[in-house]
Amino acid sequence: MNLIPIRTPKLIKGIFPNYIWNMPQDQKTIYLTFDDGPTPEITHWTLNILKEFNAKATFFCIGNNIEKHPEIFHDILKDGHTLGNHTYSHPKGWTTSSEVYVDQVLRTEEIIDYQVSNSKFQTLHADRSQGSPRANLFRPPYGQITPQQGRRLLTLGYEIIMWDILAFDWKDSISEEQCAKNVISKARPGSIVVFHDSVKASRNMMFALPKVLHHFNESGFKFERL
């Protein structure tokens, strides 16, 4: 039994109004996001599937993974997706001091800045209106962030991106079919959907993502970056 709901309740969104849970709901647009990469093979597979459906997405990258796989990070940038910050080593916010937590975010920001500035593709996305490679977007690992951590990051100019829909692709206890159903049955215009381009989530994500893309594409939806 999941204690965390697939779709975030309005009550939770109301308690944390300074965080972004979904986008405007007046267009048939869904916002796919991928956490925890870049990951060899899995991130490239994800990029290829997105390209097949002419879909854009947002990748919340772990700083340590960017350092290990800069070429994959550059491929995300090359394909015109938005990049987000997911800390350096994926700590749990509720058990991490604010100083350490914010330092992890800033360390990853430096890594992203360095990689973007050294990419031949960075001039293709010079401002956010055209799909900026980096727009101070931050997602807390595990969704864990304390009020103090949140206030400090907001003060530093970060937009804290949460979610409307969780695919639960990382859970071994749910089937591939259920993972796809989680998104197809619950997503709506403006939904921010969480997948993971990670080894742990690969079985469910690689089954569910094509089905989600096909279903909503056939229903007239677009997939855009944040």
Task: Give me the residue spans of the domains in the chain.
Answer: 10-223
User: What CATH architecture applies to the domain 10-223?
Assistant: Alpha-Beta Barrel (3.20)
- In angstroms, rounded to a whole number, what is the distance separating the alpha carbons of residues 110 and 6? 33
Please give the distance of CA 187 from its chain centroid, rounded to a whole number.
15
Q: Check if the beta carbon of residue 161 is closer than 8 Å to that of residue 192.
A: yes
pLDDT at 125: 42
Please give the distance of CA 94 from its chain centroid, rounded to a whole number.
20
Phi-psi region of 223 (alpha: psi -120 to 50; beta: other; left: phi over 0): beta
Global confidence as pTM? 0.94
Q: Check if the beta carbon of residue 24 is closer than 8 Å to that of residue 55.
A: no
pLDDT at 123: 42
- Pick out the chain residues at pLDDT < 70: 1-2, 120-135
pLDDT in tens, 57-78: 999 999 999 999 999 999 999 9
Beta bridge partners of 82: 58
